[in-house]
Structure 1
Amino acid sequence: MITAIVMIQTAADRLTEAAQEVADLDGVAEVYSCAGDVDLIAILRVTDHEEIADIVPGRINKVAGVVDTDTHIAFRSYSRSDTEATFSIGLEE
C-alpha cells in the first residue's frame, strides 16, 4: 500500500464543497481542513504509483475550487499504533 499526502489550496468560497468532492474520490482515504499554508490535506492510499498519477492531476486538480496541489509520497510510517503492532506480534494475553 502506498500512502500519499496531498496539500490542497482551494478558492475560499468552494472549500467545503471541494473537500467533500475530494473525499468522495476513489483512493482518497481521508480529507482534513486545516489552518496554515494549505486549506485541505488529503491522504491517499493506493496500490501503485500510477493511481497517484491518475488521482491527483486527473481528478483532484479538476475539482471545482481546487487551485493548487503539492503531493508527498510516504516511505515509512512511524505511528505509535504501527510500532505497538510490530512489537506485539506473537504476544497473546
Structure 2
Amino acid sequence: MVTSIILINTERGYINEVAETLAGMSEISEVYSVSGAYDLIAVARVKTNDDLSTLVTRNLLKIENILHTETMLAFQVFSKHDLEAMFSLGAS
C-alpha cells in the first residue's frame, strides 16, 4: 500500500465543500481542516504509485476550488495500529 499526505489550499470560502468532495473519494481515507499555511490535509492510501499519480494529476484536478496541492509520500509508518490490516478488511 502507498500512503501519501496531500496538503491542499482552496479558494476562500470553499474549504468545507472541497473537504466533503475529498472525503467521498475511495482513495482518500481521512481529510482534516487545519490551521497554518494549508487549508486541508488529505491522507491517501492506494495500491500503487501509478494509482497515486492518477489521483493527484487527474482526479484532484477535477475538483473545483483547489488552488494548490503538495503531495508527500510516506516511507514508513510509526503507529500502534496495524493500518495495513485495517484497510485490507473486506478487500478482494
Smaller-chain TM-score range? Answer: 0.7 to 0.9
Q: AA paired with 1:20?
A: E
- 1:26-71 CA deviation, whole Å, 9 max, x = no partner? 2111100000110000000111001111111211232111000000
Query: What's 1:15 paired with?
Result: 15
Is there any run of 5+ residues in structure 2 with no aligned partner, and where?
Answer: 83-92
1:21 shift after superposition: 0.5
Q: Percent same amino acid at aligned positions?
A: 32
How does 1:57-68 map onto structure 2 within 5 Å?
A: 57-68=57-68
How does 1:11-90 map onto structure 2 within 5 Å?
A: 11-79=11-79, 81-82=80-81
Query: What's 2:2 paired with?
Result: 2
- 1:2-28 CA deviation, whole Å, 9 max, x = no partner? 100000000111111011101111211
Q: AA paired with 2:62?
A: K
1:82 shift after superposition: 4.5
Rg larger for: 1
1:25 is paired with a residue whose SS is coil
For the aligned residues, what is the CA RMSD? 1.3
Q: AA paired with 1:14?
A: Y
- C-alpha contact (below 8 Å) 1:4/1:72 kept by paired residues: yes
Q: AA paired with 2:3?
A: T
Superposition misfits of 4+ residues, deviation over 2 angstroms? none
- C-alpha contact (below 8 Å) 1:61/1:68 kept by paired residues: no
Query: What's 1:91 paired with?
Result: none
Paired residue total: 82
Is there any run of 5+ residues in structure 1 with no aligned partner, and where?
Answer: 84-93
Q: How does the TM-score come out when normalised to structure 2?
A: 0.83
